[in-house]
Chain A
Amino acid sequence: MLAYMIRRLLYVIPVAFGVSVICFMLVHIAPGDPLTAVMPIDATAEQQAAMRAEYGFDRPLPVQFGIWLGNALQGDLGSSIATGRPVAAEVRRAVGNTLILAFTASLIGFPLGIFFGFVAGTFKDTLIDRAVTALAITGVSVPNYWLGIVLVAVFSVTLGWLPSTGAGPGGSTAWAWDIEHLRFILLPAITLAVVPMGIVTRTVRALVGDILSQDFVSALEAKGLSGTGVLRHVIRNVTPTTLSVVGLQLGYLLGGSILIETVFNWPGTGFLLSNAIFQRDLPLLQGTILVLALFFVFANLLVDLAQPLVDPRIKRG
């Protein structure tokens, strides 16, 4: 088990390196000069060259990458072309709000998905199973940015129960776990939770149905084990795969929040990214993507490291 954990830990290094290569390349696959946005139109050729040298764009790509990576490792992600402020500070301020939204959505989506999946898998081919399956496929198929708009139309515009946009009363961006703020997070969190809920439901349903049809379950029942006793065995068998699906969906929550944040004007990384896209602020885009992708890499690492705790087969193998 220790060998597995060490191998998994070391594997993060090449993956994180690859992720940073892709993020670095984002600025360089962009058409045109990355400095066009800040360069004065009447700049002479010498001035342009001087500016390029100042930003380091005149050096060979591998050298640029080395410098960029060195800076990134020290927490310096360059400065925004649009505002001139350090990217790292902007991302740090926004990422907290994204994590709060993703965390709340996971509190809604994962337990519901696991519960629905268990119910449908246990009562396979009944009316309940059909209803849950329909709900799950709806969840998987719905474009969540549209669902957000529909929820706003129903609960904010028509019924007037919940606020339509923002993260707090009076446009405040400082988060607090109180009723006033929770009213603002409810709609975006539900919107974000729908797709992961559908996927987890489908996975757990298939797993539970599969395990219940195996011989060892009949054997357990034949020896007179109670329903809850059998359920304990099923849970132990379902947990490892469910855990890895949940881990993958964490990434979905981080990525999917970009569109949802745009719909609800949530002051997180999605909001930052849509500004970066709108203003063609490539360093801001690059830094935000890098931080989000690294969060995903570490979320997957944690899930994989937790895997031996729930799956004894890994310890042996």
Chain B
Amino acid sequence: MSDTSTTTLGRAEGRVAGHAAAEQAPARSKGYWSGVGSRLLRDPVAMLCAALLGLLLLAVIFAPYLPLADPFTGSMISRLKPLGTPGHLLGTDELGRDMLARLIYGGRLTLMLGLLPVIFAFVIGTGLGVVAGYVGGWLNTAIMRTVDVFFAFPSILLAIAISGALGAGIVNSLVSLTIVFVPPITRVAESVTASVRSLEYVDAARISGAHPLTVVRVHVLGNVMSPIFVYATSLTSVSMILAAGLSFLGLGVKPPEPEWGLMLNTLRTAIYINPVLAALPGAMIFLTSLCLNLLSDGLRSAMNIKD
């Protein structure tokens, strides 16, 4: 974490410039974020991934309006049809349901179950970490030592433990994944906050009599949000893989709901009949997670954050 203070300092200047630009003249918009944006735009890999993810997101959101077959009704006489079957572009699953429709509808739940826990954990973890890092003292000890205990569990083990105890279901899966991601985000938020807190302008604000909440809101949050956010984006692919993994184990979404991990599980036996078809849902998880990782890497290097 030796590079945190320098990058945070660099970002502090950028933030101030960005604020000034937003409040005063739109013409002076050469702030930190526009710099990041233009660097990201010049990164072809990141842009390709962003485009693919955007396309997937659009398809998933507007699935009901697309000319797709019903993902729930199947036909017993047309089970496990190969790719390219007329009327079923990507074939049919083990109950004769259209694979293309199920893959697109399945993306809804998989993406939701993968992204929401990271968003929840981002909010909770940032709150806990900023409080621990800014207030310090016994509160810091209490929060950070609790976080340490959760770090004693490998993330998959913790997710399976909590989901296994709570039982299958979408809400339970969201709860368990959120609990998995709060500790790492808290740890990052705490260390970034602690380094910002010791900067001179924060001291200056405190000495000038600003209310602690104002100092946190204006001077601390503004500077710690972007490193925490970038860290959180790097967790999205893990989160999605874990969410689909829980469904794969029978702990997440319940059938007949389409979800990539669950589809991978129910199609497993079809591996001897039609291996390409059986591999499709997992290929979707893989491609999405690859795009999320590459985009997060691109964002990281556009913001000049070292690994």
Complex: A29 Cα to B290 Cα, angstroms = 35
Contact A256 B154 (CB under 8 A): yes
B146 at the interface (CB under 8 A from A): yes
Complex: A316 Cα to B171 Cα, angstroms = 50
Contact A256 B156 (CB under 8 A): yes
CB-defined interface of B157-179 with A at 8 Å, one 1/0 digit per residue?
A: 11011101111000000000000
Contact A143 B244 (CB under 8 A): yes
Q: Which residue of B lies closest to A255 (CB)?
A: B154
Contact A30 B153 (CB under 8 A): no
Query: Contacts of A141 on B, CB cut-off 8 Å?
Result: 237, 286, 289-290, 292-293
Q: From B33-41, B55-63, B248-256, give the one contacting chain A.
A: B248-256
Q: From A46-54, A71-79, A272-280, give the one contacting chain B.
A: A272-280
- Which residues of A, 1-57, contact B by the 8 Å Cβ criterion? 14-16, 18-19, 21-23, 26-27, 29-31
Contact A26 B250 (CB under 8 A): no
Complex: A252 Cα to B289 Cα, angstroms = 18
Checking B153, B249, B272, B285 against A262 with a beta-carbon cut-off of 8 angstroms, the contacting residue is B249
A258 at the interface (CB under 8 A from B): yes
Complex: A292 Cα to B153 Cα, angstroms = 8
B264 at the interface (CB under 8 A from A): yes
Complex: A142 Cα to B287 Cα, angstroms = 8
- Which residues of B, 253-298, contact A by the 8 Å Cβ criterion? 264, 268, 271-272, 275, 278-279, 281-283, 285-286, 289-290, 292-294, 297
Instruction: Name, among A255, A256, A280, A297, the residue most crowded by chain B CB atoms within 10 Å (CB to CB).
Output: A255
Checking A158, A263, A282 against B165 with a beta-carbon cut-off of 8 angstroms, the contacting residue is A282
Would you give the shortest CB distance from A113 to chain B, in whole angstroms? 14
Complex: A145 Cα to B290 Cα, angstroms = 15
Query: Contacts of A217 on B, CB cut-off 8 Å?
Result: none
Q: From A84-92, A146-154, A225-233, A304-312, give the one contacting chain B.
A: A146-154
A140 at the interface (CB under 8 A from B): yes
A138 at the interface (CB under 8 A from B): yes
Contact A153 B160 (CB under 8 A): no
Would you give the shortest CB distance from B65 to chain A, in whole angstroms? 29
Query: Contacts of A30 on B, CB cut-off 8 Å?
Result: 165-167
Q: Which residue of A lies closest to B149 (CB)?
A: A18
Contact A296 B154 (CB under 8 A): yes
Interface of A is mostly: helix
Complex: A23 Cα to B154 Cα, angstroms = 13
Q: Contacts A149-B268, A153-B278, A278-B250 known; A29 to B156 CB distance under 8 Å?
A: no
Checking B153, B160, B297 against A273 with a beta-carbon cut-off of 8 angstroms, the contacting residue is B160
Contact A251 B154 (CB under 8 A): yes
A254 at the interface (CB under 8 A from B): yes
Q: Which residue of B lies closest to A16 (CB)?
A: B152
Contact A26 B162 (CB under 8 A): yes
Query: Contacts of B148 on A, CB cut-off 8 Å?
Result: 15, 18
Q: Contacts A206-B307, A297-B152 known; A146 to B286 CB distance under 8 Å?
A: yes
Q: Contacts A15-B148, A153-B278, A251-B154 known; A143 to B286 CB distance under 8 Å?
A: yes
Contact B157 A254 (CB under 8 A): yes
- Chain B, interface size category, equals 35 or more
Contact A137 B290 (CB under 8 A): yes
Complex: A293 Cα to B151 Cα, angstroms = 10
Contact A258 B160 (CB under 8 A): yes
B29 at the interface (CB under 8 A from A): no
Complex: A273 Cα to B156 Cα, angstroms = 12
Instruction: Name, among B156, B286, B293, the residue most crowded by chain A CB atoms within 10 Å (CB to CB).
Output: B156
Contact A289 B157 (CB under 8 A): yes
Contact B271 A146 (CB under 8 A): no
Query: Contacts of A150 on B, CB cut-off 8 Å?
Result: 279, 282
Complex: A278 Cα to B265 Cα, angstroms = 14
B206 at the interface (CB under 8 A from A): no
Contact B154 A254 (CB under 8 A): yes
- Which residues of B, 109-163, contact A by the 8 Å Cβ criterion? 145-146, 148-150, 152-158, 160-162
Complex: A141 Cα to B167 Cα, angstroms = 27
- Which residues of A, 255-306, contact B by the 8 Å Cβ criterion? 255-256, 258-259, 262-263, 273-274, 276-278, 280, 282, 285-286, 289, 292-293, 296-297, 300
Contact B278 A285 (CB under 8 A): no
Q: Contacts A19-B152, A149-B279, A157-B275 known; A29 to B166 CB distance under 8 Å?
A: yes
Complex: A254 Cα to B155 Cα, angstroms = 10
- Which residues of A, 137-180, contact B by the 8 Å Cβ criterion? 137-138, 140-143, 145-147, 149-150, 152-153, 157-158
A203 at the interface (CB under 8 A from B): yes
B100 at the interface (CB under 8 A from A): no
CB-defined interface of B199-242 with A at 8 Å, one 1/0 digit per residue?
A: 00000000000000000000000000000000000000100010
Query: Contacts of A300 on B, CB cut-off 8 Å?
Result: 152
Checking B156, B160, B166 against A252 with a beta-carbon cut-off of 8 angstroms, the contacting residue is B156
Instruction: Name, among B145, B250, B282, B293, the residue most crowded by chain A CB atoms within 10 Å (CB to CB).
Output: B282
Query: Contacts of B167 on A, CB cut-off 8 Å?
Result: 30-31, 280
> 13 other contacts beyond A14-B145, A149-B278, with CB at 8 A cut-off?
A23-B161, A138-B290, A143-B282, A145-B245, A147-B282, A149-B268, A153-B279, A252-B156, A254-B154, A262-B249, A277-B251, A286-B165, A296-B154
Q: Can you pick out 9 interface pairs between chain A and chain B where the beta carbons lie within 8 Å of each other?
A: A14-B145, A19-B153, A27-B165, A29-B166, A31-B166, A143-B244, A143-B286, A150-B279, A206-B307
Enumerate chain A interface residues (CB-CB to B < 8 A).
Answer: 14-16, 18-19, 21-23, 26-27, 29-31, 137-138, 140-143, 145-147, 149-150, 152-153, 157-158, 202-203, 206, 210, 251-252, 254-256, 258-259, 262-263, 273-274, 276-278, 280, 282, 285-286, 289, 292-293, 296-297, 300
